[in-house]
Amino acid sequence: MTRIAVVTGGTRGIGEAISLKLKEKGRHVIANYGGNDEAARAFSSRTGIDVRKWDVGDHQACLDACAEIEAQFGPIDILVNNAGITRDATIMKMTFEQWDEVIRIDLTGCFNMAKACFPNMRTRSWGRIVNVGSVNGQGGQIGQVNYAAAKSGIHGFTKSLAMEGARVGVTANAIAPGYIATEMLSTIPDNVMEKIVEQIPVGRMGQPEEIARGVEFLTSDNASFITGSTLSINGGQHMY
Protein backbone atom coordinates (compact mmCIF):
# COMPACT_ATOMS: atom_id res chain seq x y z
CA MET A 1 0.00 0.00 0.00
CA THR A 2 1.35 3.40 -0.97
CA ARG A 3 1.20 5.83 1.92
CA ILE A 4 0.13 9.40 1.22
CA ALA A 5 2.46 12.03 2.72
CA VAL A 6 1.95 15.77 2.93
CA VAL A 7 5.04 17.89 3.57
CA THR A 8 4.37 21.54 4.35
CA GLY A 9 7.01 23.89 3.01
CA GLY A 10 8.05 20.86 1.01
CA THR A 11 9.43 22.58 -2.08
CA ARG A 12 12.60 24.27 -0.78
CA GLY A 13 15.36 23.77 1.77
CA ILE A 14 14.80 21.12 4.42
CA GLY A 15 11.28 20.44 3.13
CA GLU A 16 12.59 19.70 -0.35
CA ALA A 17 14.98 17.10 1.08
CA ILE A 18 12.15 15.58 3.15
CA SER A 19 9.84 15.36 0.12
CA LEU A 20 12.57 13.67 -1.91
CA LYS A 21 13.47 11.22 0.83
CA LEU A 22 9.85 10.17 1.38
CA LYS A 23 9.36 9.76 -2.37
CA GLU A 24 12.53 7.65 -2.55
CA LYS A 25 11.00 5.40 0.13
CA GLY A 26 7.87 4.85 -1.95
CA ARG A 27 5.50 7.40 -0.42
CA HIS A 28 3.11 9.39 -2.59
CA VAL A 29 4.24 12.89 -1.66
CA ILE A 30 2.32 16.14 -1.95
CA ALA A 31 4.56 19.14 -1.24
CA ASN A 32 2.91 22.32 0.00
CA TYR A 33 4.37 25.80 -0.33
CA GLY A 34 3.37 29.33 0.62
CA GLY A 35 4.13 31.77 -2.17
CA ASN A 36 7.23 31.09 -4.25
CA ASP A 37 5.57 29.71 -7.42
CA GLU A 38 8.77 29.72 -9.42
CA ALA A 39 10.68 27.58 -6.91
CA ALA A 40 7.69 25.23 -6.59
CA ARG A 41 7.37 24.82 -10.37
CA ALA A 42 11.09 24.11 -10.73
CA PHE A 43 10.96 21.62 -7.84
CA SER A 44 7.96 19.83 -9.33
CA SER A 45 9.41 19.51 -12.83
CA ARG A 46 12.76 18.34 -11.39
CA THR A 47 11.23 15.71 -9.09
CA GLY A 48 7.79 14.85 -10.47
CA ILE A 49 6.34 15.61 -7.01
CA ASP A 50 2.87 17.17 -6.87
CA VAL A 51 2.93 20.70 -5.40
CA ARG A 52 0.03 22.59 -3.80
CA LYS A 53 -0.03 26.21 -2.69
CA TRP A 54 -1.79 27.30 0.47
CA ASP A 55 -0.94 29.25 3.60
CA VAL A 56 -0.51 26.90 6.57
CA GLY A 57 -1.39 29.82 8.83
CA ASP A 58 -4.88 29.94 7.31
CA HIS A 59 -7.06 27.43 9.15
CA GLN A 60 -9.77 27.05 6.52
CA ALA A 61 -7.22 26.83 3.70
CA CYS A 62 -5.59 23.85 5.47
CA LEU A 63 -8.92 22.07 5.94
CA ASP A 64 -9.88 22.68 2.29
CA ALA A 65 -6.49 21.63 0.87
CA CYS A 66 -6.36 18.41 2.88
CA ALA A 67 -9.96 17.55 1.94
CA GLU A 68 -9.07 18.05 -1.74
CA ILE A 69 -5.94 15.90 -1.44
CA GLU A 70 -7.89 13.14 0.30
CA ALA A 71 -10.66 13.26 -2.31
CA GLN A 72 -8.08 12.95 -5.08
CA PHE A 73 -5.52 10.51 -3.67
CA GLY A 74 -6.99 8.98 -0.52
CA PRO A 75 -6.48 9.58 3.20
CA ILE A 76 -3.32 11.33 4.36
CA ASP A 77 -1.14 8.86 6.31
CA ILE A 78 1.88 11.04 6.99
CA LEU A 79 1.97 14.74 7.88
CA VAL A 80 5.26 16.61 8.12
CA ASN A 81 4.77 20.09 9.56
CA ASN A 82 7.91 21.68 8.19
CA ALA A 83 6.81 25.11 6.88
CA GLY A 84 8.34 27.93 8.86
CA ILE A 85 9.55 31.50 8.64
CA THR A 86 11.71 33.85 10.68
CA ARG A 87 11.12 37.55 11.32
CA ASP A 88 14.07 38.33 13.56
CA ALA A 89 14.44 41.42 15.76
CA THR A 90 15.25 42.05 19.39
CA ILE A 91 12.24 42.65 21.60
CA MET A 92 13.07 46.37 21.59
CA LYS A 93 12.49 46.45 17.84
CA MET A 94 10.12 43.57 17.15
CA THR A 95 6.67 44.67 16.00
CA PHE A 96 3.47 42.93 16.93
CA GLU A 97 3.13 41.94 13.26
CA GLN A 98 6.52 40.17 13.33
CA TRP A 99 5.50 38.32 16.49
CA ASP A 100 2.08 37.42 15.18
CA GLU A 101 3.17 36.24 11.73
CA VAL A 102 5.75 33.82 13.09
CA ILE A 103 3.36 32.37 15.69
CA ARG A 104 0.61 32.05 13.07
CA ILE A 105 2.72 30.25 10.48
CA ASP A 106 5.24 28.30 12.57
CA LEU A 107 2.99 27.20 15.45
CA THR A 108 -0.67 27.67 14.51
CA GLY A 109 0.20 26.15 11.13
CA CYS A 110 1.00 22.86 12.91
CA PHE A 111 -2.35 22.92 14.69
CA ASN A 112 -4.21 23.75 11.47
CA MET A 113 -2.65 20.84 9.60
CA ALA A 114 -2.97 18.33 12.44
CA LYS A 115 -6.61 19.33 12.86
CA ALA A 116 -7.16 18.55 9.17
CA CYS A 117 -5.30 15.20 9.13
CA PHE A 118 -5.75 13.64 12.60
CA PRO A 119 -9.43 12.56 12.34
CA ASN A 120 -8.85 10.28 9.34
CA MET A 121 -5.61 8.90 10.81
CA ARG A 122 -7.52 8.07 13.98
CA THR A 123 -10.34 6.40 12.06
CA ARG A 124 -7.86 4.19 10.20
CA SER A 125 -5.69 3.55 13.31
CA TRP A 126 -2.50 4.59 11.56
CA GLY A 127 -0.80 7.93 11.25
CA ARG A 128 2.55 9.64 11.52
CA ILE A 129 2.94 13.31 12.37
CA VAL A 130 6.36 14.94 12.52
CA ASN A 131 6.68 18.59 13.54
CA VAL A 132 9.85 20.50 12.76
CA GLY A 133 10.97 22.51 15.78
CA SER A 134 14.39 24.07 16.23
CA VAL A 135 17.47 24.13 18.40
CA ASN A 136 16.47 27.74 19.11
CA GLY A 137 13.13 26.56 20.46
CA GLN A 138 15.09 24.41 22.90
CA GLY A 139 17.76 26.91 23.89
CA GLY A 140 16.42 30.37 22.89
CA GLN A 141 18.23 32.92 20.72
CA ILE A 142 18.75 36.67 20.75
CA GLY A 143 16.46 38.34 18.21
CA GLN A 144 14.05 35.42 18.12
CA VAL A 145 11.50 35.70 20.93
CA ASN A 146 8.79 35.07 18.32
CA TYR A 147 10.52 32.13 16.61
CA ALA A 148 11.78 30.53 19.84
CA ALA A 149 8.29 30.78 21.37
CA ALA A 150 6.71 29.18 18.30
CA LYS A 151 9.29 26.40 18.08
CA SER A 152 9.25 25.74 21.81
CA GLY A 153 5.46 25.58 21.55
CA ILE A 154 5.83 22.89 18.89
CA HIS A 155 7.57 20.64 21.38
CA GLY A 156 4.68 20.89 23.90
CA PHE A 157 2.13 20.55 21.10
CA THR A 158 3.84 17.37 19.92
CA LYS A 159 3.82 15.71 23.36
CA SER A 160 0.13 16.43 23.93
CA LEU A 161 -0.81 15.24 20.45
CA ALA A 162 1.24 12.08 21.04
CA MET A 163 -0.78 11.35 24.18
CA GLU A 164 -4.03 11.77 22.26
CA GLY A 165 -2.84 9.59 19.37
CA ALA A 166 -1.13 6.85 21.36
CA ARG A 167 -4.11 4.51 21.75
CA VAL A 168 -5.29 4.98 18.17
CA GLY A 169 -2.10 4.24 16.24
CA VAL A 170 -1.10 7.82 15.53
CA THR A 171 2.40 8.86 16.54
CA ALA A 172 3.54 12.47 16.88
CA ASN A 173 7.18 13.39 17.17
CA ALA A 174 9.32 16.48 16.72
CA ILE A 175 12.64 17.03 15.06
CA ALA A 176 14.76 19.88 16.35
CA PRO A 177 17.30 20.81 13.67
CA GLY A 178 20.40 22.76 14.47
CA TYR A 179 21.80 25.16 11.88
CA ILE A 180 21.12 23.72 8.42
CA ALA A 181 22.44 25.24 5.19
CA THR A 182 19.28 26.64 3.53
CA GLU A 183 18.02 30.01 2.31
CA MET A 184 16.49 30.61 5.74
CA LEU A 185 19.97 31.40 7.06
CA SER A 186 20.82 33.75 4.18
CA THR A 187 19.92 36.83 6.25
CA ILE A 188 22.49 35.97 8.95
CA PRO A 189 25.72 37.95 8.35
CA ASP A 190 28.83 35.84 7.58
CA ASN A 191 30.71 36.96 10.70
CA VAL A 192 27.76 35.93 12.92
CA MET A 193 27.48 32.62 11.08
CA GLU A 194 31.19 31.93 11.68
CA LYS A 195 30.69 32.43 15.43
CA ILE A 196 27.68 30.10 15.39
CA VAL A 197 29.62 27.38 13.59
CA GLU A 198 32.43 27.68 16.19
CA GLN A 199 29.84 26.62 18.79
CA ILE A 200 28.81 23.48 16.92
CA PRO A 201 30.88 20.55 18.24
CA VAL A 202 31.08 18.79 14.87
CA GLY A 203 32.43 22.03 13.38
CA ARG A 204 30.00 22.56 10.52
CA MET A 205 26.41 23.31 9.61
CA GLY A 206 24.08 20.45 8.80
CA GLN A 207 22.66 19.56 5.39
CA PRO A 208 18.90 19.29 4.65
CA GLU A 209 19.35 15.60 3.81
CA GLU A 210 20.52 14.97 7.39
CA ILE A 211 17.15 16.18 8.70
CA ALA A 212 15.25 14.29 6.01
CA ARG A 213 16.73 10.97 7.13
CA GLY A 214 15.39 11.55 10.64
CA VAL A 215 11.94 12.44 9.34
CA GLU A 216 11.89 9.37 7.12
CA PHE A 217 12.68 7.13 10.09
CA LEU A 218 10.04 8.70 12.35
CA THR A 219 7.38 8.32 9.65
CA SER A 220 8.21 4.67 8.93
CA ASP A 221 6.71 1.49 10.36
CA ASN A 222 10.02 0.98 12.18
CA ALA A 223 9.20 3.91 14.48
CA SER A 224 5.91 2.49 15.78
CA PHE A 225 6.99 2.63 19.47
CA ILE A 226 8.37 6.18 19.24
CA THR A 227 5.92 8.92 20.08
CA GLY A 228 6.11 12.24 21.94
CA SER A 229 9.85 12.41 21.44
CA THR A 230 12.10 15.10 20.07
CA LEU A 231 14.96 14.03 17.86
CA SER A 232 17.70 16.67 18.00
CA ILE A 233 19.81 16.75 14.83
CA ASN A 234 22.26 19.53 15.51
CA GLY A 235 25.87 18.35 15.40
CA GLY A 236 25.97 18.30 19.21
CA GLN A 237 25.13 21.99 19.60
CA HIS A 238 22.47 21.48 22.25
CA MET A 239 22.43 18.34 24.38
CA TYR A 240 19.69 18.91 26.96
User: How many residues would you count in the chain?
Assistant: 240
The binder of ligand NDP chosen from 19, 32, 138, 173 (CB under 6 A) = 32
Task: For residue 13, state whether it binds ligand NDP (rule: CB under 6 A).
Answer: yes
Give yes or no: 240 in active site. Answer: no
Task: For residue 179, state whether it binds ligand NDP (rule: CB under 6 A).
Answer: yes
The binder of ligand NDP chosen from 15, 153, 165, 214 (CB under 6 A) = 15
DSSP state of 144: -
The binder of ligand NDP chosen from 5, 6, 57, 153 (CB under 6 A) = 57
Task: For residue 12, state whether it binds ligand NDP (rule: CB under 6 A).
Answer: yes
Task: For residue 177, state whether it binds ligand NDP (rule: CB under 6 A).
Answer: yes
Residue among 149 and 168 whose Cβ is closer to ligand NDP: 149
Task: For residue 83, state whether it binds ligand NDP (rule: CB under 6 A).
Answer: yes
The CB-based long-range contact list for 134-143 (8 Å cut-off, 24+ gap) reads 134/84, 134/176, 134/177, 135/176, 135/177, 135/178, 135/179, 135/232, 135/234, 135/237, 135/238, 137/176, 138/176, 138/230, 138/232, 138/238, 138/240, 139/238, 139/240, 142/90, 143/88, 143/89, 143/90
# of chain residues touching ligand NDP (CB under 6 A): 30
DSSP structure string for 47-111: H--EEEE--TT-HHHHHHHHHHHHHHH----EEEE---------TTT--HHHHHHHIIIIIIHHH
Provide the mask over 185-204, with x wherever binding to ligand NDP is found by CB under 6 A and - wherever it is not.
Answer: x-------------------
Which residues contribute to the site for ligand NDP (CB under 6 A)? Answer: 8-9, 11-15, 32-36, 39, 55-57, 82-85, 105, 132, 134, 177, 179-180, 182-185
Residues assigned a catalytic role: 147
